[in-house]
Chain A
Amino acid sequence: MKGSNLTSDQYHILLFLVTLPYMLVWLGAFYGYGKLQQYTNLLKKTPEGIDFQCIAKGVRYLAYGLPLVALASISLSTIANSNPGFKPTAIIVVNYLSLLVPLLAYNMIRKGSHGLVERSKTRFSLSDMRALVMVLVVIGVAYCYFTFKKLNLESIGSSINPYYLPAWIIITTLIIPYLYAWFSGLLAAYEMVLFSRQVQGVLYRQAMRYLASGIVFIVAGGVGLQYLRSVIPRTGYIQLNSTIILANIAYAILAIGFVLLIIGAIRLKKIEEV
């Protein structure tokens, strides 16, 4: 509300409108997780059941994590708005919560996708691996560049920056784990695509393609959103600028991902039910 002529009610209406698309994505995430879990429950006694269980668990972490981080951010920012001394704590807590969700979710999805690839003895393509490493290098270097621009690198112990933490702590406990999480996510997406391309069964493959494409979009949207949120530090209040447009694009990609995941899970479930 600071710096604008909005009343409290107007601010809350604006907040609701800004977060409405996000809430729809959260609903999609929960529905997608529900469908995937239903499918996974049908595979309990099968060899690939354990792999799909991991993927469903990863999607569950995302489904719970997305609203959890947003609610924590809003709640802690509200407290920080009335107690300015609490603002650094609020921002640090939300930054670490934001990291925890992809770290757990992508690792779990990757564990599942790796199991599927191993089980089907699918071979990695060297050119695909090169492209994957290249994407990660570009993302990593750009991420470090944008983050370091905001840090006082002359004094590595200084916490006078938008993250309210010394640079060495940011590098070791935020930047490196984020890069690891994104690598896990990208690798999981790649392995899912690989499995969906090479697995036997024309009808099974069609359904798997939807699921794999869903994971690709979910990881891409998620990485985009986390990238944005960590490169452009949290301020604790709504800013109507290009950041919100980019965040909405990332949420739209996430939404497409969850829709594809739902279609894939429904089709796979049908194969196990007819």
Chain B
Amino acid sequence: MSSKQDPQLYAQVVRVTNVYLGPAADRFVARQVQNHLDKPPEQLTKQDLLKLIDWIKVAVSLLTEDSEIVEEYATQLQHLATDKKKLRKTTHK
């Protein structure tokens, strides 16, 4: 994984998050990056992604008891970390 900044990565994480948190997605991801990775959201790198996914899993587990949603969301984010171009179609629109 590269530690190079990827300006598109943050937008991709927000896009995935949008499926679960709608209008709150951007604020949610920015908060997780700032609070847990101690960096501005736009400086998110692929190297940070796995750590970010762990924190996001913790945060989303506080919002829902539906572990299926949490796992599905985490899997979608992991696809970004492993450079999979196509995201799996989500069951939750």
Contacts and interface: CB of A to CB of B under 8 A. Distances in A.
Interface of A: 46-48, 120, 199-206, 267-268, 270-272, 274
A253 B25 CA distance: 33
A271 B19 contact: no
Task: Give the size category of B's interface with A.
Answer: 10 to 19
Contact of A201 (B20, B31, B59, B62): B20
A48 B23 contact: yes
A201 B27 contact: no
Q: In terms of DSSP, what is the predominant structure of the interface of chain B?
A: helix
29 contacts: A46-B23, A47-B23, A48-B23, A120-B23, A200-B18, A200-B19, A200-B22, A200-B23, A201-B21, A201-B22, A201-B23, A201-B25, A202-B19, A202-B20, A202-B69, A202-B93, A203-B20, A203-B63, A203-B64, A203-B69, A204-B21, A204-B22, A204-B23, A204-B24, A271-B21, A272-B24, A272-B28, A274-B28, A274-B63
A200 B24 CA distance: 10
B18 A201 contact: yes
A77 B42 CA distance: 64
B92 interface: yes
B49 interface: no
A267 B63 CA distance: 8
Contacts of B22: 199-201, 203-205
B90 to A, nearest CB: 9
Q: In terms of DSSP, what is the predominant structure of the interface of chain A?
A: helix
Interface in B33-65: 59-60, 62-64
B24 A201 contact: yes
A47 B22 CA distance: 13
Give 3 nearest A-B pairs by CB, closest first: A201-B22, A204-B22, A202-B92
A4 to B, nearest CB: 54
A47 B27 CA distance: 12
A204 B73 CA distance: 14
Given A271-B28, A272-B27, A203 B62 contact: no
A120 B69 CA distance: 23
Contacts of A274: 28, 31, 59-60, 62-63
